[in-house]
Every structure is written in C-alpha cells, then in structure tokens.
Amino acid sequence: SLAVTQIDVGSPPTPQIPPAVGVRLNTAEPNIFFLFADLPNVDNKYTGESEKIPRTQTTFDRRVKISRIVDESGAAKPLAHIIFIAPEATLVLTDTAGATTLGEKINIELSSPSGNLKKTVTVRVSGQISIK
C-alpha cells in the first residue's frame, strides 16, 4: 500500500496511479480473488472490469475456498472489499455498495475442499492482519 506506482488500468487500459487499490473477496466465487484499482471517482468498491488490475485474478492454493465473510457485528456478508488508499495507506473495509458498514474488522473464514480444516483471517482497519 505504500509503494505507489503506475499500472495499466481503465477502459481503454492506460498507465495511471490509482488513488486506491483493493482486493475483492466474494462468497459467490469462493475460489478466486483479484486486485482492483478504485479509479476516480473513488467509490470504495469494485465497479467493473475496467477497474480490474490485469493478471491479478488468482485462485487459492490447493482448492482452498472462502466459506464465510463475517463483519464486526457477527453478520455474514456475501462480499467484501479490502481497500488501501494512497498515499497514507489508509485501510477501508467495504461491502458491495462501497459502504463502510462492515465495522473495524472482518473475519474471512477459509476452508479446505473437504471443509474439515478451517482458518480465519482477521483484517482490521488499523492494518493488522492475523490468522487463527
């Protein structure tokens, strides 16, 4: 989040320094995640293919998948954006609409293909990330 650099993004793709970069996690697509550039007008959410950073979509290793995303209140959410805003490296957690209603932290529950092994990744707006 501190290494501000130009990337080819937008429609058509052009070199630019995005004001924010995020990762999109979606329980409807539990095996994949990708990075996106939150381009002007910054709305704290992924708004479409023109914001997707090329060649960043990937799958979790060994068929690991997102089983749940839980906000600070304990409510399950279908989708979350973890966004780093430059140049101060401010971290924002948002929902589908770009609203910061998720609270100060989210828990991302990852599970093995069988569902027998689970780990929880906690992301806090302070920038702390922990795994249990």
User: In the beta sheet, which residues pair with residue 26?
Assistant: 79
Q: How far apart are CA 48 and CA 30, in angstroms?
A: 18
Query: Per-10-residue mean pLDDT for the chain, 132 residues long?
Result: 72 86 96 91 87 92 96 95 86 91 94 94 94 95
Residue 41 is predicted with a pLDDT of 78
Residue 115 is predicted with a pLDDT of 87
Give the list of residues 6+ apart from residue 58 with CB closer than 8 angstroms, or none. 32, 33, 34
Give percent of the chain with pLDDT exceeding 90.
Answer: 61
* Tokens, residue 54: 């090329």
The model's pLDDT over 45-77, given as tens digits with 9 standing for 90+, comes to 998 888 999 889 999 999 999 999 999 999 999
* Tokens, residue 27: 């329980």
Count CB atoms within 10 A of the CB of residue 18. Answer: 22
